């Protein structure tokens, strides 16, 4: 796979902003897994169910090991403000859909506008306007740079509405590993016997197979206090 080392990945975001959920942020290893999936997995057309064991693949990343658990050495993606700005600007945008009533005379029965394909909605989304989404990893810089630049054009929700457009991606080596725990804070979901959230430790994170109790991202975390083992 080639030499692996600590990396910083910076994804420059268009001024239209990105829909970013701080309680369920985009995970860097999940993004890498998505990029590799069409080339490695078979039957990618088959819809994986939440309770169906996923077909895991090898990623160009290092691994961490805590007790009996392991995962890929990749953090969540964190929004970073414009240079010189202390806070990230936010806006609210409503995404609306109305049932088309003109051809209703061609159908039988009464359309249900509360649920299903005929549903009306007007849903607000919080749009963040960061300069970058930044993540950290231990991996092969050349492979990751090629994968991400070739495949990632948009990121986050409502991509079809122009949100989360990626302008550029930079993968650069750094001296310190920040992918798992940095300055005493969890940079990703990590196993915690006292955690309140059940999460898979590897992508796909929406899947419920092999979930464990985890700490929140950004929480104070000491590997020695949670499980016996060490990262690598």
pLDDT, tens digit, 9 for 90 and up, residues 140-161: 999 999 999 999 999 988 888 8
Contact of 127 with 18, CB cutoff 8 Å? yes
Query: Per the domain annotation, does 106 fall within a domain?
Result: no
Q: Which two tokens stand for residue 187?
A: 């940079």
The mean pLDDT of the chain is: 86
Query: Per the domain annotation, does 98 fall within a domain?
Result: no
Q: In the predicted model, is pLDDT for residue 98 greater than 80?
A: no
Residue, of 38 and 107, whose pLDDT is higher: 38
pLDDT confidence bin for 44, thresholds 50/70/90: low
Provide the domain limits for residue 205: 5-92+122-226
Q: What is the pTM (predicted TM-score) of this model?
A: 0.84
Query: Per the domain annotation, does 162 fall within a domain?
Result: yes
pLDDT confidence bin for 109, thresholds 50/70/90: low
pLDDT for position 231: 41
Residue, of 230 and 185, whose pLDDT is higher: 185
Query: Per the domain annotation, does 110 fall within a domain?
Result: no
Q: In the predicted model, is pLDDT for residue 188 greater than 70?
A: yes
pLDDT for position 230: 42
Query: Per the domain annotation, does 103 fall within a domain?
Result: no
Q: In the predicted model, is pLDDT for residue 59 greater than 90?
A: yes
Cross-strand partners of 197: 214
* Average confidence (pLDDT) over 77-92: 87
For residue 18, the 8-state DSSP code is: B
Count how many domains the chain has. Answer: 1
Backbone angles phi, psi at 106, to 5 degrees: -85, -5
Q: Which two tokens stand for residue 45?
A: 């057309």
What percent of the chain is modeled with pLDDT above 70? 84
Query: Per the domain annotation, does 10 fall within a domain?
Result: yes
Please state whether the peptide bond connecting residue 78 to the residue before it is cis, i.e. omega within 30 degrees of 0: no
pLDDT for position 136: 98
Query: Per the domain annotation, does 109 fall within a domain?
Result: no
Q: Is 137 exposed, middle or buried (0-12, 13-18, 19+ CB in 10 A)?
A: buried
DSSP-based three-state secondary structure for 139 = strand
Query: Per the domain annotation, does 43 fall within a domain?
Result: yes
């Amino acid at each position: 796979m080639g030499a692996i080392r600590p990396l910083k990945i910076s994804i420059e975001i268009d001024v239209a902003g990105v829909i970013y959920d701080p309680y369920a942020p985009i995970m860097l290893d999940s993004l890498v897994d998505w990029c590799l999936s069409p080339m490695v997995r078979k039957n990618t057309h088959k819809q994986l169910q939440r309770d169906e064991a996923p077909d895991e693949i090898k990623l160009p990343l290092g691994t961490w090991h805590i007790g009996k658990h392991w995962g890929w050495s990749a953090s969540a993606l964190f929004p970073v403000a414009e240079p010189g700005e202390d806070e990230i600007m936010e806006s609210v945008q409503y995404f609306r859909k109305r049932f088309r009533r003109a051809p209703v005379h061609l159908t039988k029965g009464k359309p249900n506008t509360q649920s299903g394909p005929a549903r009306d909605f007007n849903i607000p989304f919080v749009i963040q306007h960061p300069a970058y989404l930044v993540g950290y990893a231990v991996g092969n810089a050349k492979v990751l740079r090629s994968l991400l630049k070739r495949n990632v054009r948009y990121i986050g929700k409502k991509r079809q509405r122009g949100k989360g457009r990626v302008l550029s991606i930079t993968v650069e080596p750094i001296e310190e590993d920040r992918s798992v725990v940095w300055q005493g804070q969890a940079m990703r979901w990590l196993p915690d016997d006292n955690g309140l959230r059940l999460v898979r430790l590897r992508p796909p994170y929406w899947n419920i197979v092999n979930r464990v109790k985890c700490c929140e991202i950004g929480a104070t975390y000491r590997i020695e206090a949670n499980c016996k083992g060490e990262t690598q």
